[in-house]
Structure 1
């Protein structure tokens, strides 16, 4: 009789020993646990994340509305001026102190700077002398240049004058004659107040510089080639004189830049209603974008039985209600108390529409009343001020309503993540315990199968004897 010894099987893959699909059973158990414990949490996380994202969308639309509202709250907007000129030769710039009006301007003379020229000499390197040249432009600081080895030529003196400053520039001009080189001095400023004085003193009365710049006895001098002139113009028939071609404050808050003389032309200084209209239109567009965003985020689709991420959200409803109330409530007791009086009306879908003719008429005919409506007589108590205050309370990064809401949602998301990790750890622990039990079962069945095979072999051996 043959003897066979049985041994315990080693399980390398779950189910191999027993022939049962234990791995699939374990997977089914894990899927069941996941569906029961984890899926509700991930569903809640997805909902909270969608709500946080929706608040990001809502915040973007509110930020755009806040930017547009702040532009309308800026008092300087309503002081903006536009200018127009009927001709050429004059350009204009204004400050906020300018006064709207129509002005007739005629320029008869431009301001110009004085130029003086010496007689000509044959060579720019000819020695001029050893005296002292004194120059002054108007009431400016006088400069004195003592001629010496470094500058006692026409070229050297030119460079010395230019280096000294003093509001006078020097150049050398060649006129093409036998003695062509002439030193030309030009005042850096226009007008008669900048006329130059030139004097030269020397112990040698016969040196060349004396003949160029004037003798000590007063004879001989430079030639005036360009006379100093003031700008001359009339504004509404009133004569105006200016040392410069840049005429400041002859009209309050207006600078005239003169470039040519010519016929009378009309300057119009007007409130820049186009700029105000654009700011109002930008605000209406931003509000409509906000209203549309809220509508999308709180919508409900009956066919699919699905709602927007912020459907039923109390914070969104509060913001929408308060801003809508700001839009249709009255402001002050001025000429305009309601947006609708400016042609801006609230529609049934929650958006605003603009009657451009009505709004433009208000801007053209009563800009001061429009200004008072938007910012109040004190610049901070009008219609737009109330909206900016509300928007600030929603959007403040530290204490704002939306910050509080999103912080709450972030905290909720953190708690859900903690719950998820706890439930996942529980599932992992149970799965490990079941795997150990299944492995024991697999090993037991494998051992029983081995024993059965052994006994079968023994019985067969006995029967064969």
Structure 2
């Protein structure tokens, strides 16, 4: 509310007086604003706690996966010839691979035509039959039957199992339709093509693998299966990507072997497990650091942190620390310390001895898996605890956040109400000051008038004397 220009007529400092009154009236607002700052800080701090626990939960999930401990590292000593990838089902071992044949896709080529845009007969239904018994039809009834249109129609329908393109051989009838099986291997090869309702198109595209000389469509590339041996065992594959020969390994064949076989190795890869453990330790330490910072108290200057004395933080810290005391009786591993993971008694932070951890993974892999990923292992216990803490309806963090949010909203309402009361009171003062200013201004004008009249009377009396 504007307060300037009050008191100009009267000469009284009413605008300053009104500003001072507002300043004194707004002093109690500082108390509410300070409470708002604290409440918002608590709400933010609970958000930090929640994120920290979620990070621990996510890291614990990785610890609970059996694949984390069964990971293998795969390699090929001749990647130009063969590449290999592995899944979590791969088993450590070495394999000598000889490749005697690569899989190829069949290709058929039609006789050349002078024009690629003119129709070849009218309509017709083309039927494609593949070696695996698959049959598919392409209906061209009422449609363009030129070479360009046929290529577009075939390529637009992947269910046919055939791809089409045009080859220009430079002759007087240069445009030749080439059909290629969509995938490699004999099962995907074309055994017959027939056209119903269009004799001209039948003459161009008709094909029967059992009697190829009966038609003009010519096979240029024979469909072949990949052939290889793995440690002397003969393997046949429809494609050059062999996925089911060795469990957990995918072999991609690039070319035939010449003299020596390709050596494919699969060795245990402890780095996946050590990374999972390290990620968990880092997530736990981050949570522990956040709790310590949010609840710390400086005895020297009496300065408290935003969650000093907060029961929610202490509860989370207590629950997490109790889980770390978990032990697996009757095993060489036993505890976290047996795996090289120790706790700093002063700070509560965890430290990992990777050498000791990798030794345990090598010497007692089944016990390590049981400790971390067992039905009642560390991961399962952490999952149960973190789910309880993070429960959106009854979890301690959610409950604390709801309380802090209500306090923030209440303080916002209090502040708005207090500001409204002050504005209302200031408006009353402003109107009173305006009235006062008007009265004093009028009194000053009357005073000035009377003074002027008296001065005139005094002057007239002096002249008469």
Whether TM-score is above 0.5 comes out as yes
User: Which structure is larger by alpha-carbon Rg, 1 or 2?
Assistant: 1
* Equivalent-residue separation in structure 1 for 2:347 and 2:193 (angstroms): 85
For residues 406-445 of structure 1, what are the structure 2 equivalents within 5 Å?
Answer: 406-428=401-423, 431=426, 443=439
* Equivalent-residue separation in structure 1 for 2:89 and 2:330 (angstroms): 27
For residues 52-451 of structure 1, what are the structure 2 equivalents within 5 Å?
Answer: 52-88=43-79, 89-112=81-104, 138=131, 140=133, 230-262=225-257, 263-331=260-328, 334-347=331-344, 348-376=346-374, 378=375, 381-428=376-423, 431=426, 443=439, 447=443
Change (3 A) 1:291 1:143: closer
Q: CA deviation at 1:34?
A: 3.0
Change (3 A) 1:302 1:456: farther
Change (3 A) 1:142 1:293: closer
SS at match of 1:53: helix
Contact preservation (8 Å) 1:191, 1:243: yes
* Equivalent-residue separation in structure 2 for 1:184 and 1:50 (angstroms): 72
Q: Which position in structure 1 is the counterpart of 2:197?
A: none
* Equivalent-residue separation in structure 1 for 2:225 and 2:444 (angstroms): 124
* Equivalent-residue separation in structure 2 for 1:143 and 1:266 (angstroms): 42
Contact preservation (8 Å) 1:15, 1:23: no
Change (3 A) 1:142 1:61: closer
* Equivalent-residue separation in structure 2 for 1:141 and 1:70 (angstroms): 45
* Equivalent-residue separation in structure 1 for 2:324 and 2:170 (angstroms): 79
Change (3 A) 1:113 1:137: same
Q: Which position in structure 2 is the counterpart of 1:152?
A: none
Residue in structure 2 matching 1:31, options 1, 13, 23: 23
Change (3 A) 1:335 1:169: same
Q: CA deviation at 1:405?
A: 0.9
SS at match of 1:251: coil
* Equivalent-residue separation in structure 1 for 2:423 and 2:248 (angstroms): 80
Q: Which position in structure 2 is the counterpart of 1:41?
A: 32
* Equivalent-residue separation in structure 2 for 1:313 and 1:217 (angstroms): 87
After superposition, what is the alpha-carbon deviation per residue over 1:374-420, rounded to whole angstroms, capped at 9, x for unaligned?
Answer: 221x4xx3212222332222333333322211211121223233333
Contact preservation (8 Å) 2:9, 2:441: no
Q: CA deviation at 1:351?
A: 1.6
Change (3 A) 1:430 1:117: closer
Q: What TM-score, normalized to structure 2?
A: 0.69
Q: CA deviation at 1:452?
A: 11
Q: CA deviation at 1:309?
A: 1.1
* Equivalent-residue separation in structure 1 for 2:188 and 2:107 (angstroms): 11
Contact preservation (8 Å) 1:249, 1:255: yes
* Equivalent-residue separation in structure 2 for 1:407 and 1:317 (angstroms): 18
Q: CA deviation at 1:94?
A: 3.9
* Equivalent-residue separation in structure 2 for 1:266 and 1:105 (angstroms): 6
Q: CA deviation at 1:344?
A: 1.6
Change (3 A) 1:448 1:289: same
Change (3 A) 1:356 1:22: same
Bigger mean CA offset, 57-66 vs 274-283 = 57-66
Bigger mean CA offset, 94-103 vs 437-446 = 437-446
Q: CA deviation at 1:190?
A: 5.4
User: How many residues get paired?
Assistant: 425
Q: CA deviation at 1:325?
A: 2.1
* Equivalent-residue separation in structure 2 for 1:450 and 1:134 (angstroms): 116
Q: CA deviation at 1:114?
A: 6.7
Q: CA deviation at 1:167?
A: 6.4
Q: CA deviation at 1:445?
A: 11
Change (3 A) 1:14 1:100: same
Bigger mean CA offset, 221-230 vs 247-256 = 221-230
Change (3 A) 1:391 1:172: closer
Bigger mean CA offset, 180-189 vs 246-255 = 180-189
Change (3 A) 1:76 1:445: same
RMSD: 5.3
* Equivalent-residue separation in structure 2 for 1:446 and 1:116 (angstroms): 113
* Equivalent-residue separation in structure 1 for 2:68 and 2:83 (angstroms): 23
Q: Which position in structure 2 is the counterpart of 1:13?
A: 6
* Equivalent-residue separation in structure 1 for 2:332 and 2:103 (angstroms): 48
